[in-house]
Amino acid sequence: MISIPANPYSYELPLTGVALIIIDMQRDFLEPGGFGDALGNDVSRLQAIVPTLKQLLEAFRQHRLPVFHTIECHQPDLSDCPPAKLNRGKGALKIGDPGPMGRILVKGEPGNGIIPELAPVLGETIIHKPGKGAFYNTNLETHLQQRNITHLLITGVTTEVCVQTTMREANDRGYECLLVEDCTESYFPEFKQATLEMVRAQGGIVGWTAPAAAVLQGLAEMGWGAADADLDLANTSVG
Ligand code: TIU
């Protein structure tokens, strides 16, 4: 067990059972012409976390620890996109419309992919999700159970939408979650701040928050080797 300085108090990380969850670091949210842009947001603010998140991802790779990437997307016929989602936003483009990076938020389109800096490598799991939470209508929980994962380090975008929803879903399912403060971002800085505060309030009602440096220090202290991790390099799973 390693103790990571966190808010509202130390996060106790066991020697096995931790995974990095990277939520929706897609061109659709970080680049002009994607879904985030179509909703009327300034997408440039999300770029700031990429170098720090990359550092954390590299540490997980170095220690051969499990990494899960999520992709928010819909089937080309939009059969998995309810009107309550399709009809949101009042911009020129909606989900499924053709845009400069292909159809907005549709699986397999260029704009739907993960940004090149954080592209998954062999052995990492990709979860395609139609909702905001990564557990809704996906096999994420099965993957986590199969690998005896109990602790989730949560990162990605946007803090108060898909990241927070996923953290709450995970907490309800019994996972011990830490939101990495400088590896998550929002189009609205005040919403990011509010999310950090609300998840760790009331003694950590949803979980913990800590900066990446604290997590990286903890991982370095663990000194995990390849033999400790349950990583099958022959199989990159897609869910
Ligand atoms: N709009 C917004 O802030 N977020 C989303 O629609 N999806 C995610 O957060 N990934």
Q: Which residues line ligand 1 (CB under 6 A)?
A: 24, 29, 36, 39, 72, 157-158, 161-162, 187
Give residue 131 CA to ligand 1 midpoint distance, Å.
Answer: 10
**Residue 236 clears pLDDT 70, i.e. is over it:** no
On the question of pLDDT at 224 being above 60, the answer is: no
Over residues 52-99, the pLDDT tens digits come to: 999 999 999 999 999 999 999 999 999 999 999 999 888 789 999 999
Residue 183 is a catalytic residue: no
pLDDT at residue 176 in the model: 98
Ligand 1 atom closest to the CA of 156, numbered from 1: 10
Q: Residues 30-42: what's their mean pLDDT?
A: 95
Q: How far is the CA of 14 from the centre of ligand 1 (A)?
A: 31
Mean pLDDT of the chain: 93
Between 139 and 220, the higher pLDDT residue: 139
In the predicted structure, residue 136 carries a pLDDT above the cut 90: yes
pLDDT at residue 238 greater than cutoff 60: no
**Residues 178/4, Cβ–Cβ less than 8 Å:** yes
